[in-house]
Structure 1
Amino acid sequence: MSEEKIVTYKGFNTDLTCRDYQFEIGKTYEHDGDVEACSSGFHACENPLDCFSYYPPAESRYAETISTGKISRHDDDTKIASATITIKAELSMPEFVQRAIDWIWNRVDKSLEQQIMTGNRSAASNTGDYSAASNTGDYSAASNTGYRSAASNTGNRSAASNTGDYSAASNTGNRSAASNTGDHSAASNTGNRSAAEVSGPHSVAAAFGIESKARASIDGAIVLCYRDDNGDLIHIRASRVGDNGIKADVWYVLDENGEFAEAE
């Protein structure tokens, strides 16, 4: 047990509750009693991507937090329990993905100049045009900002993000996130309970896993499917924003009847 001040990240239900405890952005909370990871205290993760294990992108919100006081660490990942937690700021998915990339990149050997990595908790990043960033390890992140570039990973709880025009962000891991802000770009994932998001015009967000969701901005489009509990494909549907009642910057899922529904 130690006394520390740590930048952490926390997932919530869509109403900003966690295990029936109501939180608010900007507030500080103190726990009176023992602090033990997975048992008591306020929980958060040092690695943003570890939040996906407990709060998958398709049904959650995320925030940057500050954990202070007594700290107890979890053995299996970077989850910690603390005596005090401050909910500093809510993060959009692109912001959350960037925090994950920064966290991982700060822990890799820069001398290797890695652009493609396959190890767990790895990162791939580049900023050049016509470039690609790719990894296949779990807990990994792929990011680039160049035009006509691609970011891709296949590990669970991973994130793929880019901001260049004509670019693509793609992942296949469960509980993962694909996000980009470039025009004419695509964000796609196939993992269950994942999220695909685009904010540039004429871009497409596609999510194909069980209980996955997608959203797009004005002049964009979404593609969603509905699968049964066995993963069998029952419905698939696409729509431009503005058609079929689809609103800009709103998360959608496809229901059992093949109809678009706003994600709760």
Structure 2
Amino acid sequence: MEAMDKEAYEIKKDSMTRAGETKENKLMKKEVRIPILGVIEESETLTGNERYFLDHYPHGEGAYLVKIGSCYKELRDVHIRNEKTPNDRIKCDFSIYPIRSSAIVEEIKKEHEATLKDYIEECCVKILTSVNANRDDVRNVDEKMSVLIKQLASDITCLKKALNSIKEDGVASGNGISEKTLLGALEIVTKKDNNMANENKIIAYKGFDKDFKCRDFLYEVGKTYEMNGNIKCCNRGFHACESPMEVFDHYDMLTSRFAEVEQSGEIDKENNSTKICSSRIRIKAELKLADIINLGVEWLKEITMPSKIKANNSSNDGDYAQIGSSGDSAKIGSSGDSAKIGSSGDSAKIGSSGDYAQIGSSGYSAQIGSSGDSAKIGSSGYYAQIDSSGQNSVVMCAGYDSKAKAAIGSWITLTEWKSIGDIWKPICVKTEQVDGSRIKADTYYKLIDGKFKEVE
């Protein structure tokens, strides 16, 4: 899809306050028109360096309204620096114009949403015109083209109903729809054919080496790859894992790169794991190690929701158990192998003695213990305490003031947070292997000033 044409929005700048002026006279009357390419959202945990790469901005150079966390903070004018990194990522610089008025933000959002709606309607008109022009020739085209034209006509009817609903609800009202929703609607009329649109698509996670290669094949973010032949796990096809944590079974945490992918086409799944093999794969976005940790916790919470498992027992001794809890002060125990345990409540106590356990917790003050080998343990809540005594395990703490200990040969990832202004932000994420010398076994560590420090 071509980048959207630039729209102009009006903002007012605060003027310098003269002695004796009233509050009402502190606004300049001069209007400044700034071209806006779109709206981007950034996590409060996004590292500063990522903002200086052009692929962070979906439409390239230009001005963007930036939402950081839950608040709209600034207008950002992005321009290319004409400098590339070793992996060919283009660097950029930008100027920042802080926005202190929520009213201005709302006006910019309303105009932007309205413009996107108009753009979609234009696409509908063009496609509908094309379909109508070809109705008389349907008998002369092959069966596949006939199906496609009929499907396009059906899609346009559905989209026009959606647009009429948008008009009735009022895009410019306080309950308008988001840019993501509008662009999602536009994808309906740009899909290639009916079969591709209706096929099964699976979101998964894939590892690569430092050059973004897998088995010597170079991948690129945003591209789609296809393969013919008999698709079978560990034999032929594109491989990835539905569990973000399972990716660490195949790629080293420190030297590898990771991405969220979309798998489709012919699909084959491996038994007793989340590994997936497909004939088609799309590389959606590159992920940092901290992203993988948080996604792993959320994935475990999702698959262990009571509505997705047959029983939500507080104790489960069988292999391949799936245990989920959302209440505070939960006590969860599992002794079977390959258990998947997810908890979102505060002050949870989780214990697992089976091998290959996957444990995720997002609540505050979680206490997690695991004695099985090859465990993968992730926590995104504050004040987590993780104890792993099994061999070859991976322990990951993304939350503030968390601590962890593990056995020799295992890996520990810790995060250091700092209050910047009124916002707590992660300033360092570091991974170390427990070697028994520099990083001791059965010893709690926190990340302080960018270094692993022993704590009680």
TM-score by length of structure 2 reads: 0.44
- Amino acid across the alignment from 2:200: K
Higher share in strand: 1
Question: Larger Cα Rg: Structure 1 or Structure 2?
Answer: 2
Question: Using the alignment, how far apart are the partners of 2:364 and 2:283 within structure 1?
Answer: 33
* Corresponding residue of 2:435: 226
Q: Which runs of 5+ in 2 are unaligned?
A: 1-195, 419-427
* Corresponding residue of 2:205: 10
Match of 2:309 among 64, 83, 108: 108
Q: Check the 8 A contact 1:120/1:139 in 2, yes or no.
A: yes
State the Cα distance separating 1:210 from its structure 2 match.
Answer: 0.9
Question: Using the alignment, how far apart are the partners of 2:366 and 2:223 within structure 1?
Answer: 38
Residues 174-214 of structure 1, C-alpha deviations (whole Å, 9 max, x = no match): 33222223333212323333222223333212232414233
Question: Using the alignment, how far apart are the partners of 2:205 and 2:220 within structure 1?
Answer: 12
Residues 117-149 of structure 1, C-alpha deviations (whole Å, 9 max, x = no match): 222222222222222223233222222222222
Question: Using the alignment, how far apart are the partners of 2:252 and 2:370 within structure 1?
Answer: 14
Higher share in helix: 2
Residues 97-120 of structure 1, C-alpha deviations (whole Å, 9 max, x = no match): 3213423556521xx332322222
* Corresponding residue of 2:332: 133
- Amino acid across the alignment from 1:165: Y
Question: Using the alignment, how far apart are the partners of 1:152 and 1:56 within structure 2?
Answer: 26
Are 1:22 and 2:228 an aligned pair? no
Q: Which runs of 5+ in 1 are unaligned?
A: 253-264
SS in 2 for 1:92: helix
Q: What is the RMSD computed on CA atoms of the aligned residues? A: 3.7
Match of 1:214 among 410, 413, 417: 413
Question: Using the alignment, how far apart are the partners of 1:48 and 1:17 within structure 2?
Answer: 18
Q: Check the 8 A contact 2:402/2:414 in 1, yes or no.
A: no
Corresponding residue pairs, total: 239
Question: Using the alignment, how far apart are the partners of 1:114 and 1:61 within structure 2?
Answer: 37
Question: Using the alignment, how far apart are the partners of 1:65 and 1:222 within structure 2?
Answer: 24
In the TM superposition, 1:159-170 aligns within 5 A as 159-170=358-369
* Corresponding residue of 2:344: 145
State the Cα distance separating 1:9 from its structure 2 match.
Answer: 2.6
In the TM superposition, 1:33-52 aligns within 5 A as 33-46=229-242, 51=247
Question: Using the alignment, how far apart are the partners of 1:218 and 1:29 within structure 2?
Answer: 39
* Corresponding residue of 1:98: 298
Question: Using the alignment, how far apart are the partners of 1:14 and 1:168 within structure 2?
Answer: 33
TM-score by length of structure 1 reads: 0.71
Are 1:246 and 2:442 an aligned pair? no
SS in 1 for 2:294: helix
Question: Using the alignment, how far apart are the partners of 2:252 and 2:372 within structure 1?
Answer: 11
RCO higher in structure (CA 8 A, sep ≥6) = 1
* Corresponding residue of 1:72: 268
Question: Using the alignment, how far apart are the partners of 2:252 and 2:353 within structure 1?
Answer: 16
SS in 2 for 1:241: strand
Q: Check the 8 A contact 1:192/1:212 in 2, yes or no.
A: no
- Amino acid across the alignment from 2:338: Y
State the Cα distance separating 1:13 from its structure 2 match.
Answer: 4.2
* Corresponding residue of 1:202: 401
Residues 9-54 of structure 1, C-alpha deviations (whole Å, 9 max, x = no match): 3341453433333334443222244423211110124555654543
State the Cα distance separating 1:84 from its structure 2 match.
Answer: 0.4
* Corresponding residue of 2:277: 81
